[in-house]
Structure 1
Amino acid sequence: MPSERGAIAVDLASGAERWRKPMPRGTAVMGLTYAQGVVYTAEFGFADEAAGPSDARVRARRASDGRELWRSPKLPGKVVDATLVKDGRLYASLEGSGLVALSTKDGTITRRAPGRTCQGVQAYRSSLLCWAHGAAGVRELDPVTLRQRRTLAPGERPALPPAVGDAGVLIVTTATPDADAPVTHRMSAYDWRTGRRLWRYGAPQGTTAVGLAGKRVLAVGTYEMWGRSTEDDVNSYRRKNLPRPKGGDAYDTASLLGAPLYVGGALFSATQDGRILSGYAP
């Protein structure tokens, strides 16, 4: 897991620390990804008189003992989102410098798309999904060439990362332009194969996370969470209120949940006051 001063590995069974790798002075871990026994850290060294110009790189370590496997060459920009590993390539969105693909064997840059602005990237089937705040649509990219294949939901401007899963449905969440509107966010579902919009409904107030599990959509907001089918079925809608902060009352703001883990109809999430919640998802 990343820390303010580096990366730390702990044993899942006991919680005992296995290894710790501090960063050089003035360097921070911007993101961390794990895949097939390897931990990849996106690192950024801030510019100052002592350290010199800023320096952005990706480092690969063996997860079992922290041994360094490789360090990438200097990247043209800071990594702005967690990296993605798929089919022998590591993808990273760079601040002001587009998208890059690195080889997971040695960290060399295999492809660059300088003009491809992505807030984040996701993998789905044989494609990459690229999205950015304020940019129209979700772009489908070729994972080898990084060239754009098509734009899905071209009329939408995503406010959160899109969600797509086994049902072949893409969920795009947008923010309502009027900040005082009773509905702050909307969710739209699109058929992955055809790109056709299937439905569009309001989302929870202050939506912070949207996820998919099979044919079920889960949306978490400031005060409540919603669940509904990926199909256009109004009768599938379910709602639950979020618990209040520990020791709070009905007038307190509800506990903001982190990104939920949705497994087998059960929901697991962490609250801002340090609790882990579990229960049946709506």
Structure 2
Amino acid sequence: MTIPTVFLALTKVEIDIAYDFGNKLKAVVDVEYQNNAEGVDVEQAFITYAVNDGFTVKAGRFLSYSGWETEEPTGLFQYSGAGYAPYFYGYYQQGVSGMYSGDGFAVAVSLVNDLAGPLETDSSTVGVETMVAIMPTDEITVKGFYSFEDETTLVNLWASYGKGPLTVAAEYNMSENAPAYAAAGVDSEASGFLLMGNYAFDTFGLTVRYHAWDIEDATGATYEEASGFTISPSVAVNDNLLMVFEYRMEEINSSDSNSIAVEALVTF
């Protein structure tokens, strides 16, 4: 029997600053502390300009639009992400992005120095991220992303339905030479998916998720194969404190692991 791993640490502190200059110009700066080698870091720093009611441009360092699971703990329905973001999602990027939003749809294009390199300043090879979003009703959202840079391509598709206390989502991904391996000079092809459901009972919530991914090298041999199941209850203690509990079972390359986590999220 595998003994579960228990996590105990202050993982992250973040301060988000937003300022409206007026005349359709705004600025956002996010500063964070992480309990690892990164220490204190400027996570995002960008300006936005509303050209008109539908079209907005932003420039600076910002997070990719792609992916169902967010980078921030406050945007997740459970403690952990699936773990496959480095193979399928963009990351923090430096560049410029434009988004047009209409009635029930949105499109966006970002031109960045690197799809997943927030410190990259060389723009000799430009990364391009495109997004199409459709919201036919208030309850349904469908988004598709196609991103490419040099020999790297990322495809991310997800859909969600939320009404009342229920939220369900499904995501499918494909990639070639994902940033996680391209930087090491490893050719790869990958695919992955997740299914997630959350139900909120007043101050109590319950999330279940299944995820899986497969990565092959240039010869077609399996480089990494993983799947996992997560169950995560949560309790809103008050308006500022959310307690998140998680039990996760995962198998990576035929190696099993179990983990237990308890997270306190304080927002204000």
TM range (shorter): 0.3 to 0.5
**Which has the larger Rg?**
1
Higher strand share: 2
Q: Please report the TM-score for the alignment, with normalisation by the length of structure 1.
A: 0.37
Could you say which structure has the greater relative contact order, defined with CA pairs below 8 angstroms and 6 or more residues apart?
A: 2
